[in-house]
Amino acid sequence: MSKPHPLLAIFMFIYALLAVAALWRTFTMQTFDLLTLGVFPVLYGLITRQFWAAVVLKIYLAIQTVALLALATAAVIAYQITPEDVKVIYQGRNIPISGIVVTAVIVMSFQYWIAFSHKTREYLNSKTTSNIN
């Protein structure tokens, strides 16, 4: 398998966009963190088809999951205390919490599917097999 399957290619494209956004954020705000810059080793490993890329992707997903769970826990606690103050406003628009939850579940599910997909494992192992032959 010389090329990634279509969903993995979409995943890599999205991670490339996130990498550009992470660089932009790092240079404009003069700060960086693991959630934004963690995209780079994952993307590099997938593009170069390194044997460790699957492990790094799964670790990165675990970090994302813990961060999302912490954010959700804080939101639930805040909602219990003052429900009228729990709002997400972006550029003057109120974004419904249910939409954010659905989007987060879809994004995380897609990433988990890619990370644990048999086709992704085949793609990453095909470089090692082709070098042996």
| Band (102; pLDDT cuts 50, 70, 90) | very high
In the block, which residue shows the tokens 């969903």?
A: 7
Mean pLDDT over residues 97-125, rounded? 93
Q: What share of the chain is helix, strand, coil (3-state, %, to 5)?
A: 80, 5, 15
The pTM of the full predicted model, rounded to 2 decimals, is 0.84
Q: What angle do CA 72, 17, 122 make, to 5 degrees?
A: 90
Looking at the DSSP bridge assignments, the partners of residue 1 are none
Tens-place pLDDT, residues 42-64: 999 999 999 899 999 999 999 99
Which one-letter DSSP state was computed for residue 3? S
Q: Tell me which residue has tokens 């793609």.
A: 123
From the list 83, 85, 56, 86, the residue with the least C-alpha distance to 71 is 86
The model's pLDDT over 61-97, given as tens digits with 9 standing for 90+, comes to 999 999 999 999 998 998 899 888 888 888 899 988 8
